[in-house]
Structure 1
Amino acid sequence: MNDMEDMIQYDFCKPYLMLDEYILWKGKPEKGHLITGNDVIVSLFGIVWLFFCLNFIRAIFMQPTLFLIIWMIPFVCVGFYMAFGKIIQKIYLRNKTFYVITNKKLMIKKGRKIQIYNGNDLPPMEIKIHNNGLGTIIFSEFVYTGRRRYHRYIMLENLINVVQVQNAIEVMKGSKS
């Protein structure tokens, strides 16, 4: 990839930079380590879900009614998404994902979606080094909202030089907004 293409891919961050803000690091995920253990579990559950839905549809066709056939369509769609959709989405977004770390914030662009996180508000960092030498940085925390608790995480996946990215994050977190 040449420098001009590289500049265009990271232009998304320019409107969000403040006057005293500058880029410490920019990059994108490399190929490899696409599927996580969670993805495998969801896919296996989706395959089982899909199997039961398709068997139910087969039973419906013994005495078909339009209502039951239409009623099962959402269940089959959910099964397909759980079994295959999430992985297909990850493959599609891999080449459309870009990361920018400035002295004040972290920006992640996935497809057309841009997420911006204030550097001082990021949860603690966890680093995972994969067998292929690439690394993933994960910011993880539990968020409590009224009656509900959920796990929120932010990931910078498949990075070539994790130490360089970690240093940029440390500088960002050390900078005062």
Structure 2
Amino acid sequence: MFTNSSHFAEGTERFQQYLLPDESILWTGRPLTRIVFHKSDWYAIPFSLLWGGFAIFWEYGVATDPQQGDQSVLTPSHTHFHFDNFMLLFGIPFVLAGLYIIFGRFFYTAWKKGRTFYAVTNKRVLVLNTAPNRKLVDAFFPALTSVSLATRSDGAGTVEFAPETDSMSWFGRGRRNNIQMDIDLGRLVFYDVDNVRDVYQLIQAQRARYSSAGDTVYRPR
């Protein structure tokens, strides 16, 4: 078996409660938690720099305005309301959002990756997320119409399955071709797996086994 024995034991324990009768785990793994750039970063990074840069420039301009404090109005309660203070407060959410999409999202993704687990059994493929909410997605081998592989020079990569469910885009829920700021670890995808080619070959071998057996598989009622 090409998976680390300690990781395999941990992964087996994670998925044990979800196994079907006569189902056994062939491989378990988890995504690499280091920063890995994906296709979405080609537009996400420039957009985040533009957004964050403008928000920070806005806050800096308001904070260093030499006329700060001169523009105010008298409220009905006879207190002075300063527009500059309002503009400073108004810009804070945009600065925070900019900081998140510049680098904060990488830390959040790493945190979620550390709580994401993958498994290949003799019947199906599974993705388990344990935080912020526990979620399990799976697919039986006969239901997979295609399996795609993307590899990098270090041997790590991603395995995608089709058909796939909807994903959450930056602008709402939609298909995976919508604009996304980052990967969606809740999808039925093995993201950033080490020795990904071995995992891919194992999956294809199981698909071929079911294909030669006439696409028979246990399906729970």
TM-score category of the 2 structures, normalised to the smaller one: 0.7 to 0.9
Q: What 5-or-longer segments of structure 1 have no aligned partner?
A: none
Instruction: Show the counterpart of 1:90.
Output: 109
What is the correspondence of 1:84-163 to structure 2 with a 5 Å cutoff?
84-110=103-129, 112=131, 113-119=134-140, 120-122=142-144, 124-139=146-161, 141=164, 149-151=174-176, 154-156=188-190, 157-163=192-198
Bigger mean CA offset, 45-54 vs 148-157: 148-157
Query: Judging changes above 3 Å, is the alpha-carbon distance between structure 1 residues 97 and 131 closer, same or farther for their aligned structure 2 residues?
Result: same
Q: Which residue of 1 aligns with 2:100?
A: 81
Letter in 2 for 1:115: L
Give 1:29 deviation, angstroms. 3.5
Residue 42 of structure 1 deviates from its aligned partner by: 0.9
Partner in structure 2 of residue 67 of structure 1? 86
CA-atom RMSD in angstroms: 3.4
Name the amino acid aligned to 2:139.
N
Moved more, 3-12 or 128-137: 3-12
> Secondary structure of 2:175's partner?
strand
**1:109 partner SS:** strand
How many residues align structurally? Answer: 174
Cα distance in structure 1, aligned partners of 2:109 and 2:145: 24
1:11 positional shift: 1.6
- Return the alpha-carbon distance in structure 1 between the equivalents of residues 35 and 195 of structure 2: 12
Q: Which stretch shifts more, 41-50 or 113-122?
A: 113-122
The answer to which structure has the higher strand fraction is 1
8 Å contact kept, 2:7–2:29: no
Pair 75,30 (structure 1): closer, same or farther in 2 beyond 3 Å: closer
| Cα shift at 1:79 | 1.0
Q: What is the CA-CA distance between 1:50 and the residue it aligns to? A: 0.7
Of the three residues 6, 9, 14, the one matched with 1:7 is 9
Amino acid at match of 1:72: G
TM-score normalised by structure 1 residue count = 0.75
Q: Structure 2 regions of 5+ residues with no counterpart?
A: 69-82, 167-172, 178-186, 211-215
Q: Is the 8 A contact 2:127 2:188 kept in 1?
A: no
More helix by share: 1
Identity of aligned residues (%): 22
Contact 2:29 2:119 in 1 (8 A): yes
Q: 16-25 or 158-167, which moves further after superposition?
A: 158-167
Larger Rg: 2
Deviates most, 114-123 or 126-135: 114-123
User: What is the SS of the residue equivalent to 2:90?
Assistant: helix
Preserved CA contact (<8 Å) 1:129 1:136: yes
Report the CA distance between 1:142 and its aligned residue. 7.9
Go from structure 1 to structure 2 and tell me whether the alpha carbon gap of 1:110 and 1:20 turns closer, same or farther (over 3 Å shift).
same
Equivalent-residue separation in structure 2 for 1:74 and 1:87 (angstroms): 19
